[in-house]
Amino acid sequence: MEDRLFIGVNYHPHDWSPERWREDIALMVKAGFDTVRLGHLAWDSFEPDDGVYTFAWFDEVLDLFAHLGIGVVLDVSVRPAPVWVHAICPGCDIHDTAGNPSAAVRRYMEDVSDPAYQKYAMRYARVFLEHYRSHPAIRAFGLCNEQGAGFISYSQGARERFQKWLRNKYGSIDALNQAWATQRWSRRLRSFEDVVLPQTSVACGAPEAWLDMRRFYSDGIGQFVTALARLIEELAPGIPHSSNHYSGHEKLGFDLMKYADSFVDYPGVGHYPDYVMNEQVQYTFTTIQERLGEQDKPMWFLEFISGANSIFAGPEGYVRMQVFLCLQHRLQMLLGWTWRTMLAGEEQFYNGLLCHDGIPGPLYTEYAHIARDFRKLEKHGFPYVPEPEIAVAFNQDSMWCAQYSPRHFAMPYPRAVIQAQQALFHLNRDYNMVSLEHLKKNYKILILPEHIVMSPNCAQTVRSFVASGGTAIMTGYSATLDEHGKVFESTRPGLLSDVFGIRVAGFDRAGQPDTKGWIQDSKRTITRETDTVRVTVDYVERLELQGASCFATLENGQCAVSMHIYGRGKAIYLAPEANSDLLEWLIQVLAPSVGLKKIKLVPKGVQMRQIRPGAFFYVNTTNLPLTVELDTPAYGVLAERMFEGKLSLAPYDGELLIEK
């Protein structure tokens, strides 16, 4: 893929007449768009009945885009399954926890692991790809839409596949009984045929079985998406592909880190932040980083917020500001959702660039402005693909275990990851989201926020990282459970107590007694020498130092942050749960000693990245004007003028400065 920026929209030609196609494409050209995403959510527009294909109408659409030089990202849309597929493949219907099938009344109501469904989905994908792989409009293919979104199906077929999955994983029923601790409450299994899906309409099963169930469904999705990627690579070699999958979907989802190397070509995402810079917006950036992993490729934003559900448009310039932030997070392709507000269906009030009547609205103007920005910026080092010095560990098993036991793991796992992201956001530092199961690159700092599940492979990664000279920072709640979801019998942090030189001897919560009285509120003061940081936390562990030294203390004298020299590196443990203020303070303290590169100081609310030597990209994320002090005269690429002494940024504005 060329080293440039792409901009366009998502378009649904099956919703509009051929006469309207021409008018819409002309408006896209006028706005400066060069890319469009087509084909998603439209399987039965191409195969209205079993083996009946209707491509002629869409051939005309692609010809129109090719004629005007707009490249197409074409989704191989195998979801939602057409009504006729559900009729002949009842096993793909979503079944509730009582085993009753549900009619497919909304999208994503099919079990993609069902073999019969897969037969028809892959047949359609093959025919579709063979028909369109050579069309001159094709820029890339998409691996369907939002794989991972939907619902768990508790069908008899799913139960039988789960039994087979467990047999392959454990080999013997004795090994499964040991892993699941089935001696508890008389749950011993005599054979794999005794296994049921551990979620019924009455109750949820034990955590060990429930964790394996989530892994089972994850594997079904991951293997299906991988098979679709292999088919594209077989039939359309050399054409890139991407996917705005939904691996983090709370009800279903899948373990992206496990499967990313198998199916990801260009990482893709849908970006839908709120119109206020709050924690939900921060979570969208953790999603971006998870999708990027450790790949040295830019990000394709296959869907990007335009309006929203029942929100006509946000504050003026806000979408453009979000685009600028995403350019700092490796954006290469930007496709707005959606072109025209739809007249029917569940998203009939999800507002687009054009109003319901087809007349351009304010976001059409804003996207056209962004298109002009792209043409200027792409000449100066975009897409921006950094080499981060910091990594944040992400663990899907920990997310599932926190879901299962919210009373103990009171901080939801995504929020713990957000705390690390917020700290690095405020510090203007790049990072990679990584899996400890297969860490690929070298980093100076490795942050483990609420890494609840600690497998032997993950523990060995941390051990080797620290021993070879890295600095690991682990927060409270971490290394609580082993790879089966059972609490460690050994000293915590499990498998790593010697690396961190501590024993987790208990914990305190807001409103509970500690060693010197009662914690009256959740605000805690942490002190190191003359430095203090005030944090708001619910959960704080009691640390016994067994080789580590106390790096910082709580107001009651307990150790808040421990440090242990292990090999050539440092293992740092935070007694509190993940907290952005504490992590931000700690990274600032550690930066000189671990050799992090110096970052230019900017006003709070300004995000800055050095795109290349002498080129600095500033973004004002607030609704107030802000001023950046400049050390040297610089040329503003977007404003097309020189700046000396200071850079004044209007609300939600940005500028790329080239120092002279």
Higher pLDDT, 152 or 307: 152
pLDDT number for residue 516: 54
- Does residue 167 form part of some domain? no
Cβ atoms 92, 81 nearer than 8 A:
yes
* 138 shares a domain with 62: yes
- Does residue 186 form part of some domain? no
Q: What is the CATH number of the domain that holds 613?
A: 2.60.40.1180
Q: List Cβ neighbours of 31 (8 Å cut-off, separation of 6 or more).
A: 364, 367, 368, 371
Give tens-digit pLDDT for 463-497.
999 999 999 999 999 999 999 999 999 999 999 99
pLDDT number for residue 157: 98
DSSP state of 82: P
Domain boundary among 324, 348, 377: 377
Q: Hey, which residues does 124 pair with through a beta bridge? A: none
- Does residue 531 form part of some domain? yes
Q: What is the CATH number of the domain that holds 452?
A: 3.40.50.880
- Does residue 622 form part of some domain? yes
pLDDT at residue 428 tops 70:
yes
* 590 shares a domain with 610: no
* 534 shares a domain with 635: no
pLDDT at residue 434 tops 90:
yes
Give tens-digit pLDDT for 84-120.
999 999 999 999 999 999 999 999 999 999 999 999 9
What percentage of the chain carries pLDDT values higher than 70?
98
Give tens-digit pLDDT for 359-407.
999 999 999 999 999 999 999 999 999 999 999 999 999 999 999 999 9
User: HSE on the CB side for 581, CA within 13 Å?
Assistant: 11
* 621 shares a domain with 583: no
Nearest to 329 by CA among 416, 259, 420, 425: 425
Number of separate domains in the chain: 3
Q: Report the alpha-carbon distance of residue 272 to residue 311 in Å, rounded.
A: 13
- Does residue 122 form part of some domain? yes
pTM over 0.85: yes
Nearest to 408 by CA among 454, 455, 475, 477: 477
Band of pLDDT at residue 513, cut at 50, 70 and 90 = low
State the average pLDDT over residues 57-76.
Answer: 98
DSSP state of 4: S
Q: Report the alpha-carbon distance of residue 577 to residue 408 in Å, rounded.
A: 12
* 574 shares a domain with 645: no
State the average pLDDT over residues 269-279.
Answer: 85
Q: List Cβ neighbours of 176 (8 Å cut-off, separation of 6 or more).
A: 166, 170, 182, 189, 192, 195
What is the residue type of 11?
Answer: Y
- Does residue 91 form part of some domain? yes
Cα angle 405-410-412, degrees, rounded to a multiple of 5: 85
Band of pLDDT at residue 307, cut at 50, 70 and 90 = confident
Give tens-digit pLDDT for 287-301.
999 999 999 999 999
Q: List Cβ neighbours of 263 (8 Å cut-off, separation of 6 or more).
A: 143, 222, 225, 226, 228, 229, 243
- Does residue 343 form part of some domain? yes
Domain boundary among 563, 594, 625: 594
* 471 shares a domain with 353: no
* 617 shares a domain with 472: no
pLDDT number for residue 411: 94
pLDDT number for residue 81: 97
* 568 shares a domain with 633: no
What is the residue type of 183?
Answer: Q
* 145 shares a domain with 253: yes
What percentage of the chain carries pLDDT values higher than 90?
93
* 549 shares a domain with 417: yes
Range(s) of the domain holding residue 634: 606-659
Q: What is the CATH number of the domain that holds 111?
A: 3.20.20.80
Domain boundary among 322, 347, 377: 377
* 334 shares a domain with 229: yes
* 468 shares a domain with 356: no
Nearest to 85 by CA among 74, 93, 76, 77: 93
State the average pLDDT over residues 598-605.
Answer: 95
Nearest to 469 by CA among 362, 593, 630: 593
- Does residue 184 form part of some domain? no
Helix (H, G, I), strand (E, B) or coil at 382: coil
